[in-house]
Structure 1
């Protein structure tokens, strides 16, 4: 693993950093191949949107500096499929929770080995139902902020036999899985939960929704019985792509033709750089 802090080769940050103290920041995890960051525009857009939501926006010069560094210094280091993680915090300063009026961001960029999801994409995975609920908060919904304790707790309850767990909100509505977004197909229509009040608006979820010529996509508030009545179920994120779900809490699901069709079409878009 290779790490840069504020564009210098470095592996440590200040103990007074607000990202460490309060989770005061955002992050992105990007799949990258030699010469190609996948969905880079969507990842950076979500990063900048999150920073603005938290009241520490990047200036145009800062956006250009980050993009230039990724292109000129990170991409030349990529020799195989990898993961680039970008963490931006508010940096040091402020008394207690009160943030400084003017922040000096900490910008952390890491190059990590890519996980292998090929077998999962081919054979499918099992899901359980997490006992840990997702909090609803419209101020934080959608962005990938550094406060991920609900996901950490949910991962602790995940059994070895299950790849992922479905997380519900306090109204017992579907939101997402621990580290992926949730989709299902019923009578040829593609469904996914609304993320207006909680959850992460995944870049791969966005790409699936926006690149649909063959399917009607319905986004809304759904309960678990709706999902359990589906014809096909799959999960997504930017690293795993589309992974079929073959079992949810003991109930079996087929790997259907719609899931396979979407896998092929999205993979083709990835290969041609259309995100």
Structure 2
């Protein structure tokens, strides 16, 4: 693992989560879905009032990448300064990066995954909705709800009971013959792979509750690092099975479209 510099203790990202991050798949130093990642970073910078990094600064870690498959984590904070929660009038953003070798979970591509509902509910905050900001404590607490290695992910609802996402992946399904994904205008992270797929496919954003979701014909989880995992079993928060799905060509068609964007094989 290669990391660029440490964080000072007075950095506002460390102290308050005042910043953003992107996690990007690199193949031989080439970033996948680079435009989508930069677009989300730019949206976050605009909403938080943090200047967008210069192109040459963003290119530095790419020059350090190796020839294999790696994950680049870019972290941007407002920097240091200000008084308490009050941000500085003029900020000096701090950009840090980390590179690590990566091996995708191919078994999960091929065999599908078991998921569960989480008890934790996401708070509603439209100003931050869709962004990959540094305040991820809700996701940490949700992921701490289980330690069963057979469960790959947990599904999160918001405080009004609407399905939003998984702890680290976006959620997609086919219901009544059409592709759908949760609307993310109140909370949740709008992933780079989600954005790319929505540009290329007819995917409808919907408000949905878990009982409606269980009527889906096929379900997938996806992000820009892991690719797409078909869901084959859903449990409730107590580990009791709610629904099973058999793998079918329907699962593989959606998966193949996503994997083309990441140069992953189609199982």
Shorter chain as denominator, the TM-score bin is over 0.9
Distance 1:269 1:178, change over 3 A: closer
Distance 1:22 1:115, change over 3 A: farther
Say which of 46, 54, 68 aligns to 1:52: 46
CA contact (8 A) 2:51 2:93 kept: no
> 2:238 matched to which residue of 1?
none
> 2:191 matched to which residue of 1?
202
Q: Establish whether residue 68 from structure 1 lines up as the match of residue 56 from structure 2.
A: no
Query: SS of 2:95's equivalent?
Result: strand
Q: Establish whether residue 268 from structure 1 lines up as the match of residue 249 from structure 2.
A: no
Superposed displacement of residue 57, structure 1: 2.3
> 1:88 matched to which residue of 2?
76
CA contact (8 A) 1:187 1:231 kept: yes
Superposed displacement of residue 16, structure 1: 0.5
> 2:221 matched to which residue of 1?
235
CA contact (8 A) 2:170 2:194 kept: yes
Superposed displacement of residue 253, structure 1: 1.0
Cα RMSD for the two superposed structures: 1.5
CA contact (8 A) 2:224 2:262 kept: no
Query: SS of 2:120's equivalent?
Result: coil
Aligned-partner Cα distance in 1 for 2:27–2:98? 15
Query: SS of 1:152's equivalent?
Result: helix
> 1:136 matched to which residue of 2?
124
Superposed displacement of residue 169, structure 1: 0.6
Moved over 4 A (4+): none
Superposed displacement of residue 266, structure 1: 2.6
Aligned-partner Cα distance in 2 for 1:35–1:14? 28
Q: Establish whether residue 152 from structure 1 lines up as the match of residue 144 from structure 2.
A: no
CA contact (8 A) 2:118 2:155 kept: yes
Q: Establish whether residue 177 from structure 1 lines up as the match of residue 171 from structure 2.
A: no
Gaps of 5+ in 1: 5-9
Query: SS of 1:31's equivalent?
Result: strand
> 2:233 matched to which residue of 1?
247
> 2:179 matched to which residue of 1?
190
Superposed displacement of residue 123, structure 1: 0.5
Normalised by the length of structure 2, the TM-score is 0.92
Aligned-partner Cα distance in 1 for 2:218–2:232? 8
Normalised by the length of structure 1, the TM-score is 0.90
Superposed, which structure 2 residues align to 1:24-43 within 5 Å? 24-43=18-37
Gaps of 5+ in 2: 236-240
Query: SS of 2:140's equivalent?
Result: helix
Superposed displacement of residue 116, structure 1: 2.3
Query: SS of 1:110's equivalent?
Result: strand
Superposed displacement of residue 108, structure 1: 0.6
CA contact (8 A) 1:158 1:164 kept: no
| Count of aligned pairs | 257
